Amino acid sequence: MAQTKTNINWITTGIMIAFHVGAIAALFMFSWKALFVGLVVYWIAGSLGIGMGYHRLLTHRGYKCPKWVEYVLTVCATLSLEGGPIFWVATHRVHHQLTDKPGDPHSPRDGGFWAHMGWILTGQTFHNKSTDLLAYVPDLRKDKFHLWISEYHWVPITALGVVLFLLGGWPFLFWGIFLRTVLLLHSTWFVNSATHMWGSKRFATDDDSRNLWWVAYLSFGEGWHNNHHAHPQSARHGLAWYEVDVNWYGIKTLQALGLIWDVKLPKLGAARIQPVVKPEAEPAQAEVVAVAYSGD
């Protein structure tokens, strides 16, 4: 997927600026109820949505669940302002295929700011119909719901904003939408940037992925990034007792309730990630693309 670093997507940039201004404004509307609302929505969008939904389920198929659970987690993920599932999943699958190599959408080797948010602000990053992206999501393209929500991913967060305003006025709106969205965006972007620049490396992967505790805390466990790149399909990222992985705890809870099964776990004897099959070569093998891994 070609990187276009000279063009600015002014629509996306304008939205990002507006949300950051709104996040600052929220600090002048503090209330304990608004803080609570912001934290709850932060968890719903970041843990249930991005971590458990977009990432560990849709991208890597680390576990199986009923379709209605998959759709609920997907809607939760759209509350993050990180685009629809087709864009998000395809971009992440490209990242795994080309990690820290030419073509990686957000490698710090192209610059720390580029990896963090420059790639979002430039080019046509939210273009769901890009053939470069669609080749990586043959599974999602077969699902009418994922096609629809990818086109209208802005609807759930807009509806939530209206509900929060009706329930608690401006404080609920600014804390539940603007401030928590900005914090969640940066926590996700830190996975792309910081965990490929700093931290520890448990597995000898052929990329720059690292485990970084403070990113893991911000992103509900996504910061154990070297563990993840060594075992991409694993639904568990925090492998040691001290590696807090809230997303894994959520998966285990739903598994105990019978809503999740066939949970993938790492083979800890494996030390390196395996080569990826290019999706354009075998477009029908969606699961091979989804796990981006031929090992565990």
State pLDDT tens for residues 208-232: 999 999 999 999 999 999 999 999 9
275 found inside a domain: yes
3-state secondary structure 223-250: CEHHHHHHCCCCCCCCCCCCCCCHHHHH
pTM score above 0.75: yes
How confident is the model at residue 4, as a pLDDT?
45
161 found inside a domain: yes
3 found inside a domain: no
122 found inside a domain: yes
4 found inside a domain: no
Range of the domain at 103: 10-291
Please give the average pLDDT of every successive group of 10 residues along the chain, which has 296 residues: 62 94 98 98 98 98 98 98 95 94 93 94 60 85 96 97 98 98 98 97 95 98 97 96 97 98 83 40 40 36
DSSP 151-189: HSTHHHHHHHHHHHHHHHHHHHHIIIIIIHHHHHHHHHH
Q: How many domains does the chain have?
A: 1
How confident is the model at residue 11, as a pLDDT?
87
Q: What tokens were used for 5?
A: 């670093």
40 found inside a domain: yes
